[in-house]
Amino acid sequence: MQLKTILNRVQKHQSFVYGPMRLVQGAQLAIEVEMRARANSRAKCSGCGCPAPGYDTLPARRFEFVPLWGIAMFFLYAMRRVDCTRCGIRVEMVPWATGKNQLTDTYSWFLARWARRLSWKEVAEVFHTSWEKVFRAVEMAVEWGRVHQKLSGIEAIGIDEIQWQRGHRYLTLVYQIDAGRRRLLWVGEDRKVKTLLRFFFWFGKERSAVLRFICSDMWKPYLKVVAKKAHEAIHVLDRFHIMSHLGKAVDEVRAVEARQLKDKGYEPVLKNTRWLLLKRPENLTEKQEPRLAELLRYNLRSVRAYLLKEDFQFFWDYISPYWAGQFLDRWCTRTMRSQLKPMKKVARMLRRHRPLLMNWFLAKGAISNAAVEGFNTKAKLTLRKGYGFRTYRAMEIALYHTLGALPEPKVIHRFC
C-alpha cells in the first residue's frame, strides 16, 4: 500500500492529484507531497471562485498538513495566477488552504480540536509548532463557527461579568441559558452601558424581541440596557449573583473583625476561616466541618453574618412567590437590625430590586438555574489556563472556542 492510497482515502481534492512524495531530512524529518492540478482542469480565481484563464505560475509553496507518526508533512505546490475578468490578476484558489495561510485547513482544524483539550502552549509543544500557529488555527475555527452557528430559538440569556488581568478590567459575557441549550453567545470588553448595547446590536432586534428571560446581576448599566432593549422579557436577578454579593459581604465582616480581634490581643479564632464561611455547608471537607461547628459557638459578628447568608438560601426553594416575598421582607428587616454594615448594604439592594428578585419564581423551570454559575467557573478556568493571553483578542477567541459550542464543517475523515 502506498501513502497516496491513504491520502486519497482521507482527503481527496477535486481537480488536484497527489504527485511524487519524498522523505527529507532538514532540521526535522519531513514528508513532502507534490500537488498537481489535473491536466484538463482550469484554475479558479481566489477572488470570486470562478474558473479563469491562466496568467503565470508562482514559485512552489509549502503547506503544512497533519503530521504522520510524528513526521511533519507538507504539500508542495506552485500556485498559478489567473487573469480574472472580474477581479483582475489573482492567485488561484486551492481546496486545501485558505488565503496566505501556511497551514492546510485540515491541519488548522486538527490543532484547533486539540486546543479544546489542552492549553495552546501544550498543543504547540506536542506538535512541534508555535503558540502563534495554534492561535491562528483556533481563530480560524472560531471565525468559521461564528459565521455558521444558528441563533434561532433563543429564549433565555444570562449576562455575567468577569475580571481579567490584574486591576479592574472587566469582560461582559452573554450566555444562552435555555433549559435545553447552553452556550456562550457573546464576549465584550468592559461592563458599561455601551458594552451591552453592542451585544444587542449584534444580536439584532428580531431575536431580542423573542427573548423571554434575561438573568443578570444588579449592576446598573446592565439593568438599564435590558430595560431598554428587551422590555418584553422577564428580567431575573439570579441566585448565583445574589449569593456572591452575600458571600462578599460576609467576607468583609470577617476581615474587619479578624483585624479588630488581633489588635485587641484576643485569640485568633478567625484565622483561616475564610472558606469555612464562604462555602455551602454541604461542600465542606471532613476536616472543615468540625471547625465550622466550633466557630459557630462564638458570638462573633462574622458568625451572625454567616447565619444570615445561609438563611437566605431558603428563599430560592420557595414554590409560592407570595411566601417567598414574605420571607424576603422578614429577612431584610432582620438584616437591617443586625448592625452589620456590609450585610445591610446587600439588604437595601435587595429591597430596591424586589420586583426583579421575585421574577426568579416566574422563570423557574424555563432556565437552567446553575447555568450562569457553571459558565462563570469555566470562563475563569479558561482565562487561568491561558495566562499567556496577553491580548484581548486571544482571550476572546479562547472563550468562544471552549464555551461557544460552535459548529464544525462536516469532513470525510476526522484526524483527531
Site for Zn ion, rule CB under 5 A: 45, 47-48, 84, 86-87
Within 10 Å of residue 226's Cβ, how many Cβ atoms?
A: 22
Nearer Cβ to Zn ion (55/318): 55
Shortest distance in whole angstroms from residue 100 CB to Zn ion = 17
We find the least distance from the C-beta atom of residue 37 to Zn ion, in angstroms, to be 17
Nearest to 358 by CA among 324, 396, 309: 324
Distances (CA, A) of 178 to 154, 361, 372: 7, 16, 11
Nearer to Zn ion, 45 or 138 (CB): 45
Q: Residue 314's closest CA among 301, 302, 297, 331?
A: 331
Angle separating helix axes 371-385 and 239-263, nearest 10 degrees: 60
CA distance 115 to 356: 40
DSSP state of 279: S
Q: Which is nearer to Zn ion, 53 or 70 (CB)?
A: 53
Closer residue to Zn ion in complex, CB, 47/325: 47
Sign of CA dihedral 225, 228, 229, 234: positive
The residues near 33 (Cβ < 8 Å, ≥ 6 apart) are 3, 7, 18, 19, 21, 65, 73, 74, 75, 76
Minimum distance between the CB of residue 140 and Zn ion, rounded to whole angstroms?
Answer: 22
Query: Which CB, 51 or 325, lies closer to Zn ion?
Result: 51
Task: Tell how strand 29-37 and strand 71-84 pair up.
Answer: parallel
Q: How far is the CB of 55 from Zn ion (least distance, A)?
A: 12
Residue 47 CB, shortest distance to Zn ion, in Å, is: 4
Minimum Å gap between C-beta 53 and Zn ion is 11
Q: Which is nearer to Zn ion, 87 or 366 (CB)?
A: 87
Which residues lie across from 163 on neighbouring strands? Answer: 170
Least distance between Zn ion and beta carbon 44 (Å):
8
Cβ closest to Zn ion, residue 83 vs residue 311:
83
Cα angle 221-225-227, degrees, rounded to a multiple of 5? 120
Q: Which three cell numbers stand for residue 237?
A: 436577578
